[in-house]
Amino acid sequence: MLEQGKARTVAVVGGGWSTNVGNGFYNLGTLHVLKTIFPNDRIFLFSDQEANWDYRRHQTPKNSIRLLDHITPDYLVLHGCFLSSSFPGMWNPTFQRLKEKGTKVLFISAGLTHYTDFEVEVCRNYLRRNPPYLFLSRDAVTYSKFNDLVEFSYNGIDTAFFVSEAFPPVEMDFPPYVILNFDKLPEPVLSIENGRGRDHGSAQAAVATLERRMEFEHADTRWSLEFPLVRYKLSNSLGKFYKYFEAALLPERNAKTKVGPFTIIRTDHQSNPWFVRKMYRAPNSFAWDLPEPYLALYANTALTLSDRVHACVASLAYGRPAMLFSRSPRSLILDRVGAKDIKHKPLSVSGDQLQFEKEKMMDFLQHIPL
């Protein structure tokens, strides 16, 4: 059990909300978990390494003061998809200074970045020599690659699934709505028909083969999605820069405001760099640099369709159905809670199963010597 005594300090590495507000979902979830584990201690969110602003090289800026090297918490918590090939070079100076100060490093809800063999080898070589005190994964693959290196390890879940406890949703007076969250792919044209129809394909197949049209069944209704093929091919070529290219150079399109009985709401998870034509290109759009308003939307949606993993995580956490359009291996965090087929059809997660996984992880944390 936890030792009794003077209040301790627990620094949680986080941020990056403006470039991907989904980071805020698991930041809030982790803070909630830690406040439960350390009820009488000081828990605070602190900056990540500045190197994470440089998406290409992940190198610390030349003139950075490396703020993390100058704090002395009792515990430093890393979470998210931080286990990358650049992880050792980015973190070793900080870890060595913290080690000298007696700080314990905790990995909670840890995941790989690209899930390559090279990435695993680099991180294993480093962690073999510098293991954290605690290792909780957020998916089974990450756990299998590192659990043997750490005395206290557990095959955990993404802490973003705790957002429903961290942020009870506020009431809003929107009519029934669905959310389209496409930050990387072009938004598909959506239509629905009453009555069941034949399943003509899966989102997995559509993303992989650039099919222009797909259909699926949800709530006794046939839903059809039609992707703009040229834009789809461009998005696969340009990656995350596609949306800026589309907003700047491609003509405006006549986006729907409703589909069947549902209003369409569009969320954008990247408000930095600020570009109004990207974020508010279509009606009923929302973008901000705080996670809570997004959570309020995902908590009440009738369905979320997204190419962002954490848009789906947030929806599932509040008991709402979601469907993911992505080839990212980070979607393994959804497999971990029984949502393996989320790329093939909309689904919800069993509330009992999710609660069971949460309680098991919390029980593990409450019985280790922290």
349-364 burial, b for 16+ CB within 10 Å, e for fewer? beeeebeebbeebeeb
Please compute, for residue 223, the number of CA atoms within 13 A of its CA located in the half-sphere on the CB side: 23
Residue with the two structure tokens 């469907």 = 323
Tens of pLDDT, residues 67-88: 999 999 999 999 999 999 999 9
Can you give the pLDDT at residue 130? 97
For the stretch 96-151, pLDDT in tens is 999 999 999 999 999 999 999 999 999 999 999 999 999 999 999 999 999 999 99
For residues 159-166, give the mean pLDDT.
98
Q: Can you tell me the mean pLDDT for 226-241?
A: 86
Q: Domain 9-162+356-366: which CATH class? A: alpha beta
The pLDDT value recorded for residue 183 is: 93
- Residue 274 near residue 285 (C-beta atoms within 8 A): no
β-pairing, 262-267 vs 258-259, is antiparallel
Please state the rounded mean pLDDT for residues 208-225.
Answer: 77
The structure's pTM equals 0.93
Distance CA 254, CA 252 (A): 7
Q: Domain residues of the chain, as ranges?
A: 9-162+356-366, 177-349
Q: How far is CA 32 from CA 39, 224, 247, in A?
A: 10, 38, 37
Which neighbouring-strand residues pair with 163? Answer: none
Which residue, among 117, 113, 76, 124, has the nearest Cα to 96 in the 3D structure?
76
- The pLDDT, as a whole number, for residue 231 is 87
Mean pLDDT of 23-48: 97
CB atoms within 10 A of CB 15: 16
Q: Assess whether pLDDT exceeds 70 at residue 54.
A: no
What 3-state class would DSSP assign to 360?
A: helix
CB 265 within 8 A of CB 174: yes
